[in-house]
Structure 1
C-alpha cells in the first residue's frame, strides 16, 4: 500500500519561542530587582534570590517540556519496504518514526475560544506525546492512519468568560 506523504497534524507555531521566553524572564528579573531595591533598606531581601531561583527552575522545566512537543505528524512510506510509518517532528527539531499500529489513542482537544485544537497521542508502552496548538485535524484521517487507536475529540473544559456554555 503506497501512502505517499499525508499530513495529519501541523501546529501553527513551529519555532522554539525564544523571544517571548526571554522577554518574560527580563520582566520578572526587573520586577524582582525593583522589589529588592524597594525593601533593601529595612528588610532582609534574601527571599528574592530564592524566588528568582525557583522561577528559573520552573522556566527551564517548561523549556524542556516544550521542546518535546509535537509540531508535525505525517504518515510516510517506510524506506525499508514495509508499511506506512508515522513521523512525529518535535519543536527541538528531533523527528521520530513509529509504527501506526503502536498508537493506542488519539485525543484532539478543541478550544472553544479561538477555534484551535491540541493533539495528544498515546503510544502503547510509552508516555503521552503532546502537540502544540494548531487547526483542528480531520479525525477520519487519523482513524485510517492508526487503525488500532481510539480516536476521539472533545471540547476544552474552560469556557469564554461572560458567555454561557
Structure 2
C-alpha cells in the first residue's frame, strides 16, 4: 500500500496552511516516490551514515580497550569519537539527501505551481523552530536555498517553453 507521511505533527492541520499548500506538501512527498534514483540514494545514505557512526563507535571501543581504564577522561574521548562519527555523517548529508529534496520540490512545483511551493517554503521558514527538528537541517537544504532553486527552475522552464512553443518543438525563426 502506498502512503504519504508527514514527519512533523501539526503540519497539515495548521490553520495557516491553505489547501494549495497542503497539496504541495503531498506532491512533494509523492515526488520522493517518483524519483527514479530514490531507492539507490536511500541505500547509499544508509551505508554512509551507518559507516560513519559505526567507525565512531569502534574508535570509542578501541579507546576503552586500549586504555584499560574507564574514567572521566576516557569517557570524554569515547563521547568525542562517537560525536565525530555522527558529525561525519551529518557533514556528508548534503551530498546524499539534497538532490532528492530538490527533485521532490520540482515535482511539487510541476504538480501544483511554483508559487504555491514557494509560499509553502516561506510558511515553513517562518515556522522553522516548530517544524524543523535538528536532523532536518542536515537532510534538507535551507528553505531559502529551496525557494531560490524553485524560482530558478520556474524561470528556466518558462524560458524553455517560450523558446520551444507549446508543443515542445523549436519555434521557427522570425
Q: TM-score, length-normalised on structure 2?
A: 0.33
Name the structure with the higher helix share.
2
